[in-house]
Amino acid sequence: MTYIIESMRTHAGVPTEREAKRKGQRVEILSPNVGQPLVLVYRDDHNHLLQGTQIERVEDAGPDVLTITTRNYVYTFIKGGCANEIC
How many other C-beta atoms are found inside a 10 Å radius of the C-beta of residue 68? 21
- Residue 55 counted as domain residue: yes
Give the long-range contacts of residues 34-37, CB within 8 A, separation 24 or more. Answer: 34/58, 37/70
- Residue 85 counted as domain residue: no
- Its pTM stands at 0.86
- Residue 15 counted as domain residue: yes
- Residue 86 counted as domain residue: no
DSSP at 81 = S
The confidence band for 31, taking pLDDT boundaries of 50, 70 and 90, is: confident
Residue-range definition of the domain harbouring residue 48: 2-79
> Over the stretch 40-85, which tens digit does the pLDDT of each residue have?
999 988 889 999 999 999 999 888 999 999 999 999 999 986 544 4
Question: In the prediction, which pLDDT does 42 show?
Answer: 94
- 16 in Cβ contact with 9 (< 8 Å): yes
- For 58, the 3-state DSSP assignment is strand
- Residue 19 counted as domain residue: yes
- Residue 74 counted as domain residue: yes
Domain count, the chain: 1
